[in-house]
Amino acid sequence: MLVSASTPDFSSSKISNFPYENAFKHQYEFYEKRRSDIILKSPTSSGKTDAFLFSFINDYLDAKSKGKRLKTLYLVPTRLLMHSQLENITPHLDKFKIPYKILESGYTYAELFKYLLENDFIISSPDIIFYILLRRKNTQHINFLYQEFIKSLHSIIFDELHLFDTYILFNINNLIKIMKNIKIDTYIYLLSATIELKDVINPSEYVIIDGVSKTREIQVSGQELDYFNYKNVIDFLEKNNLTKDVIYVCNSVDRAIRLHKFFENSAILIGKTWYEEEDDLSREEKIKENLDKCKKGALTFTTSVFRQGIDIGIKTLVTEEPPNLQDAIQTFGRCGRRENSTFIMLTNRSPLLVELNSKTSVSRKEFEELFSKYFTPHEYENLKKMMNAMWYKLYNTTRLKEYVEFLLNDIMKNDFEEFKEYLPDLSFREPVPAVQYDDLAINLFEILRFKDAYKNIYPSNDSFMVGELKDGGRFIKREYKKAAKKDFPTFTLIESKRYKETGLYNLTLKLINIKFKVNAKVGKVGEFPYTFFDPHKLIPIQKSFELKTFFE
């Protein structure tokens, strides 16, 4: 199948300092309406970055000529996307002498606000704005610094909004309200491939602009292959001469790492957590190193992180069958951005293989509609009262109460009173019991997926961590075997609080020497994946559970 090239309509009007002679109509519409809050609903390869970047640059230069200074926050979901976008953006920032900074983890608050106040184009994840609200110690100047920073903002860009779940969207919406309450004319730009915002963010409060992709021709085919056996993948890549200028998207981090280790000089693009830190290279530097190798044509193994807005030229992309419609469209969307591309999907579904290998020519829109026949959309969780209650809990915790108080209402307070005994620790992303591992925080239940890894978890003095994993790097190196259900440990139940007359509980559990709390759905032995020993017979008969962070 051939997916034909597509080009958006051009605007007859010009954008000052724009790097191309003509802007697309949706880019010019964004520029024209830049002094509004905007949702730019636009697929991949539609020039979203240039639309917001040159809106900011032109306002920045105008303000500078009048002796004023503007800032913008560009917030993206992943570290890999930060580094990918930084390379696209920085030549323009350098040209116009705009100071910029990509924020990394581990800063003290003094360092953080130093970078926020010194730089005018700041790239980060949205988590950072949330966690400023949770600072408890040494914050005598934080009120002044927080307000000064927010008041200096020209705009805040939330990119790839469709990648966030309901809880994160809810937190983003409240952060937007806080920042707008401090400075009403800070412009909010939401960039998303869809406008599925689950009634959490109200589109009627924004100007909505629809964009169109600019892409080259893409040759599409399907291949029947059992990719769960990594030797089959190796044979397929070698026999088809797919060992250079190829990106292979795995559904499993383990498989990506294993394939990367087999192919010498290949690159690997995965989440920051899974890079081995070396004496001469930090994890951030390893991301940049592998991204550079990928751009130079190295065979590259990656995972779902590659679907999340990575903007590079691709000759050939091979993907294992994506789990849902959004992932299928986003993976395909990496192709044809800067050159003609080849897209190969590995699948065992005969009807899909027949369509992918047909001799037809279709538009990009028609091809994405074809996906909707075979892939179901990702289902968003409904907004729950417990999520609402978390912000009342945040208000009780924060030192910046004056900036949060206006959000409170009777509904939020009532939700808090109903669920206060079941609320997890405050977190921007859905809360999980976190285990310290070097400079990382890893979900305890992620560690349980690897046989006996939990035996190396020890108590931690960090109030945000339930323990610390000390195993000499074995976890990052993937030296543990995958755990079967029979390998999961048995927890000891210390305390329990039942929610009404339901099977939902807040459990205090002990695992070897660590204790922690989780919300869970509880059942009989074998009903759910995890089991517990109940020495005090707190929950008669029921002996297994699954995590259920937010419930009602």
d(CA 313, CA 245): 10
Contacts of 122 (CB under 8 A, 6+ apart): 71, 72, 73, 74, 100, 101, 103, 115, 116
* Domain co-membership, 33 together with 172: yes
Give yes or no for residue 413 having a pLDDT over 80: yes
Highest mean pLDDT among 108-117, 263-272, 299-308, 314-323: 314-323
Mean pLDDT over 320-334 rounds to 88
Distance of CA 445 to the CA centre of its chain: 19
What's residue 160's pLDDT? 83
DSSP states of 148-194 as a string? HHHHTEEEEEE-SGGGS-HHHHHHHHHHHHHHHHH-TT-EEEEEES-
Mean pLDDT over 449-472 rounds to 90
Mean pLDDT over 267-288 rounds to 73
* Domain co-membership, 391 together with 471: no
- Mean pLDDT over the full length of the chain: 88
d(CA 180, CA 187): 8
Instruction: Establish if 2 belongs to a structural domain.
Output: no
Instruction: Establish if 320 belongs to a structural domain.
Output: yes
- The residue from 390, 420, 450 where one domain ends is 420
d(CA 337, CA 280): 34
Query: What percentage of residues in the chain have a pLDDT greater than 70?
Result: 94
What's residue 309's pLDDT? 59
* Domain co-membership, 172 together with 184: yes
* Domain co-membership, 459 together with 533: yes
pLDDT tens for each residue of 203-229? 889 999 998 888 899 999 999 999 999
Mean pLDDT over 182-198 rounds to 83
What's residue 308's pLDDT? 65
Give yes or no for residue 195 having a pLDDT over 70: no
| Distance spanning both ends of the chain, measured CA to CA | 47
Contacts of 536 (CB under 8 A, 6+ apart): 493
Mean pLDDT over 397-409 rounds to 89
> Which tops the pLDDT comparison, 206 or 428?
206
* Domain co-membership, 237 together with 326: yes
Kindly report the backbone phi and psi dihedral angles of residue 359, in degrees, each rounded to the nearest multiple of 5, phi listed first: -95, 15
Chain position carrying tokens 């696209």: 88
Asked if 333 and 325 count as a contact pair (C-beta separation under 8 A), the reply is: no
Asked if 334 and 309 count as a contact pair (C-beta separation under 8 A), the reply is: no
Give yes or no for residue 107 having a pLDDT over 90: no
Q: How many domains does the chain have?
A: 4
pLDDT tens for each residue of 35-70? 999 999 887 777 888 999 999 999 999 999 999 999
The DSSP output letter for 27 is: H
Instruction: Establish if 17 belongs to a structural domain.
Output: no
d(CA 345, CA 319): 5
Instruction: Establish if 429 belongs to a structural domain.
Output: no
Mean pLDDT over 432-452 rounds to 87
Give yes or no for residue 376 having a pLDDT over 60: yes
Give yes or no for residue 24 having a pLDDT over 80: yes
Mean pLDDT over 110-138 rounds to 82
Read off the tokens for 278: 């070396």
> Which tops the pLDDT comparison, 273 or 211?
211
Instruction: Establish if 6 belongs to a structural domain.
Output: no
- The residue from 153, 188, 210 where one domain ends is 210
What's residue 279's pLDDT? 47
* Domain co-membership, 367 together with 396: no
Q: How many CB atoms lie within 10 A of CB 363?
A: 12
Highest mean pLDDT among 134-143, 274-283, 399-408: 399-408
d(CA 40, CA 29): 10
Read off the tokens for 186: 């800070």
Chain position carrying tokens 């992180």: 305
Asked if 11 and 25 count as a contact pair (C-beta separation under 8 A), the reply is: yes
d(CA 359, CA 340): 17
* Domain co-membership, 403 together with 545: no
DSSP states of 400-413 as a string? -HHHHGGG--HHHH
What's residue 383's pLDDT? 77
Instruction: Establish if 9 belongs to a structural domain.
Output: no
pLDDT tens for each residue of 305-318? 887 656 778 999 99
Instruction: Establish if 485 belongs to a structural domain.
Output: yes
Read off the tokens for 86: 């930084």
CATH at residue 144: 3.40.50.300
What's residue 108's pLDDT? 76
pLDDT tier at 197, thresholds 50, 70, 90 = low
What's residue 277's pLDDT? 62
* Domain co-membership, 90 together with 187: yes
Mean pLDDT over 163-179 rounds to 89
Give yes or no for residue 524 having a pLDDT over 50: yes
d(CA 293, CA 311): 14
pLDDT tier at 424, thresholds 50, 70, 90 = confident
Instruction: Establish if 246 belongs to a structural domain.
Output: yes
pLDDT tier at 273, thresholds 50, 70, 90 = low
Mean pLDDT over 407-431 rounds to 90
Rg, Å, the chain Cα set: 25
What's residue 235's pLDDT? 96
* Domain co-membership, 415 together with 353: no
Chain position carrying tokens 């034909």: 4
* Domain co-membership, 347 together with 449: no
- The residue from 159, 193, 210 where one domain ends is 210
Residue type, 259: L
Q: Report the run of H or E that residue 32 belongs to, with start and end.
A: helix 25-32
* Domain co-membership, 94 together with 177: yes
pLDDT tier at 76, thresholds 50, 70, 90 = confident
* Domain co-membership, 405 together with 441: no
Mean pLDDT over 10-30 rounds to 93
List the domain range (segments joined by +) for residue 188: 25-210
Chain position carrying tokens 């200096």: 152
Among the listed residues 480, 410, 469, 472, the one whose alpha carbon sits nearest the alpha carbon of residue 441: 469
